[in-house]
Amino acid sequence: MTPSELACPLCHGTAFQQEQGRLDSRWGITSHRLTLMICERCRYILQFYDKHSIFDFD
C-alpha cells in the first residue's frame, strides 16, 4: 500500500513547506507539538497533530 499524496483543499497544490509548531493549553499545563504543512501556491496551512506531554513546558 502506498501513501496518498498530500493536496491542498483550496487550490489542490501538491508542493508544501514543512514547519514545526507548538500549541499550549489555556493554562499552560499541556503542550501539543504540531507539524504544519504550508501550501507553496496559496499559503494555506494544514495542521497535523504530533504528540503531547503534560511535562513539556517549553
pLDDT tens string 2-32: 456 889 999 999 999 999 988 787 777 778 7
Is residue 57 assigned to a domain? no
**Is the confidence at residue 48, as pLDDT, over 50?**
yes
Number of domains in the chain: 1
Is residue 40 assigned to a domain? yes
The C-alpha atoms of residue 49 and residue 45 are separated, in whole angstroms, by 13
23: CB partners within 8 A, 6+ apart: 31, 32, 34
Quick one: how far is CA 25 from the chain centroid?
Answer: 16
Task: Name which of 19-23, 35-39, 40-44, 48-52 the model is least confident about.
Answer: 48-52
**Is the confidence at residue 56, as pLDDT, over 80?**
no
The C-alpha atoms of residue 7 and residue 12 are separated, in whole angstroms, by 5
Stated pTM of the model: 0.70
Is residue 9 assigned to a domain? no
Q: 20 is in which domain, residue-wise? A: 16-51
Is residue 24 assigned to a domain? yes
The C-alpha atoms of residue 8 and residue 52 are separated, in whole angstroms, by 26
